[in-house]
Structures are given as structure tokens and as C-alpha cells.
Amino acid sequence: MNRGEEGGMVDAAFQILRYKAWNFDDVAVRTMPLTSYETVNKALARFIERGEDRAYTYLGLSAKQEGDRLWKDGTLTEEKKEHLSRMAIENLQLAAVRRYSLAMTTLGSLFFDGKLVPRDAFLAKLWWEEGFKYARAAQWFHLRPGMLEVDHIHFWGNSPDPQKAAMYYAWSGRQRISEGKLGWAELLLYDLADLNSGIELLERYRQDIAAGGKELVSDTNEDVDGQRRGFEDVAEGLSPKPDREIWPFSFDQEGKEIWEREIRSSTRLEKIDAALRLMYSRFIPRKHRMERTGLCVDRWRAC
């Protein structure tokens, strides 16, 4: 990182922040001497002075992450909260207008958590949608089994839309995201999705790239390392498919294999088979085994 001076790499600051976040609950690691947020922030401010736009994203992320830690420790004072909230919002918005996806998804989490700013679920959904963090946004439209529609509307503030939920889950599920894979599998079992769910978002993805989209990341959660690329890397990573669709670089092999190869609707057995492949994906960690077990019960009902 070199304190933001010549020869330093702005991505090194992101690696430090990610490492600190990964070990947030590890007491043994938390006692180790790690680079302080103050040091990281000073380096990022220097990177901004040198014209590194990406540093806005990381500076906002640093403020949110420090606020989360102080909130969990019970040491977040009102004065510190006001300072960190202003720092997070200002820098993340500056990065968002430059089309940095990570900044948009972090803004969504900021408004959803409600720790540094008043909780606003509507703004959270909008920012997650803008940043392609669709697995999180899908819950606004997914009517869970056993929940009445009136209860869903009262809780989420909008009517359920299974087609939109399937579209969002599938986009995320194609990128090794556990939440996306399991949500897509559930909708496939209930015959509310098909093998081409999420494909319609490819056009918006291309448009975002054409508009100069930067740092187009996977819709990540705690299980997956964020994939980051610059505009040039993303453009080089796109490859044509036999059906003339273009897959984003972040789609995994499973995500590329589950799609309609003919112009027809998926059969019931094809949907169940695809759901099983998603449920038993090697990318879904063991801690999600309870959700997988529940879907297995749905699978036998569906048959």
C-alpha cells in the first residue's frame, strides 16, 4: 500500500479491509497487530489525491466496516457514528456515480443494516439492484412457502413477484452464491422458475459495461471471495456461446450449464434435475445443510 505514495497499490487497501472483515469474529486473530483503519484511511485519501477513483469505494467500505466493529463491541459513540456515517455515504456515493458496483452494493448493506444510518429497506433494495447484488434483492419478491401474500406485502412493502425473484436468484446462483443457488432451486421445485431464469439480465449487464461500468463484482456473500475486474478485464472475459448469448466472466461452470438449449419451456423433470444440481453444488458450504435438507423434502413433494 506504501501509504498511498508512488509505487503503492490501491487494491492492497482492499485486501487489508477484507482480511480484517474475515477475522471479525476470530478472537485470536483480533488480538494480533493489524493495520489500523486510520492508517488505511490516510493511504486511501492519498490515493484519491493522486486520481485513483477506486479509492472512494474502499474509503466508504472502511468507514462502514469500522462502524460495524464498534457497534458490535458496544463502543460506537454518537460522535463517532456521525463521523463514520458521513464518511461512508459521501465516499460511496462518489464511487457509485462512477459506476463502481462494489460501492453500490455496500450502500445497499449500509441502509439495510441501519447501524450508521437510519434503516431504509427500499433504498437498500434499489442499491443492491443497481450493483447486481441480486440474491439480497430477491427476498423482496420471493413469497416464502407458508407465508400469506398480505403478510409479505406488510413486511416487505411490495407485492411478491416470483418471476423477478427467480431472475434475481438465478443471476446470483450462476456465480457460486449459496443464497442464489438455494433460492433458485426452491423456485424450480415449486415450478416458479425455469432453466433460463436470469438470462434477461445479460442485456442490462452489457449496457452497464458499455456505459463504462467499473469493478463489476460477483453478487458475493460471506462464502465467496469477491471477484473484481477493471473494464478492460471484463470486456476480455466475455465469450460468445452457441446461442449467441454472452456470459459474464463471473459466471461459474454450473451457471453456464443450466440454460435452455432449445426454444421451449423447461420440462418438470428438467427443473427438478436442475434444482438438485444447484442444491448439491460443491460451492455451497456445509453451514447451509439445513436449508438443503428442507429443499430435499420439497423435492420429494414435487415428484
Please tell me the least confidently modeled range out of 39-53, 209-223, 284-298. Answer: 209-223
Q: Give the residues across from 247 on adjacent strands.
A: 239
* DSSP secondary structure letter of residue 227: P
Can you tell me the distance from the alpha carbon of 214 to that of 211, in angstroms, rounded to the nearest whole number?
9
pLDDT score for 132: 73
Amino acid 269: pLDDT: 87
What secondary structure does DSSP assign to 258-294, as a single string? Answer: SS-SSSSPPPHHHHHHHHHHHHT-TTS-GGGHHHHHH
Cell 458499455 locates to 210
Q: What is the band of 216 on the pLDDT scale with cuts at 50, 70, 90?
A: very low
In contact, 255 and 268? CB cutoff 8 Å: no
Question: Distance between CA atoms of 85 and 64, rounded to whole angstroms?
Answer: 7
Residue type, 260: E
The mean per-residue pLDDT over the stretch 199-214 comes to 71
Query: 214 forms bridges with which residues in the sheet?
Result: 100
**Does the pLDDT value for residue 287 go beyond 50?**
yes
The dihedral over CA atoms of 226, 232, 235, 237, expressed in degrees to the nearest 10, equals -50
Residue 50's pLDDT is 84
Domain extents in the chain: 1-131, 132-303
Is pLDDT above 50 for 229?
Answer: no
pLDDT of residue 94: 92
Q: According to the model, what pLDDT value does residue 203 have?
A: 76
- Cα 111 to Cα 89: distance, rounded to the nearest angstrom: 10
Cα angle for residues 265, 242, 190 (degrees, 5° grid): 25
- Provide the pLDDT confidence category of residue 160 given band limits of 50, 70 and 90: very high
Contact present, 22 and 53 (Cβ < 8 Å): no
Nearest CA to 258 out of 205, 203, 180, 204 is that of 180
pLDDT above 50 (res 217): no
Q: Measured between alpha carbons, how far is residue 1 from residues 6, 15, 127, 189, 273 in Å?
A: 9, 10, 29, 48, 48
What is d(CA 158, CA 125) in angstroms, rounded to the nearest whole number? 11
> How much is the pTM?
0.67
CA pair distance 62, 37, nearest whole angstrom: 7
Q: Which of 248, 220, 251, 252 is nearest to 236 (CA)?
A: 248
Strand partners, 240: 246
- pLDDT tens readout for residues 250-268: 777 777 788 876 667 788 8
**Sorting pLDDT into bands at 50, 70 and 90, what band is 1?**
low
More confident residue, 59 or 31: 59
Confidence at 298, pLDDT banded by 50, 70, 90: low
Band (283; pLDDT cuts 50, 70, 90): confident
Give yes or no for a contact between 48 and 9, defined as CB atoms under 8 angstroms apart: no
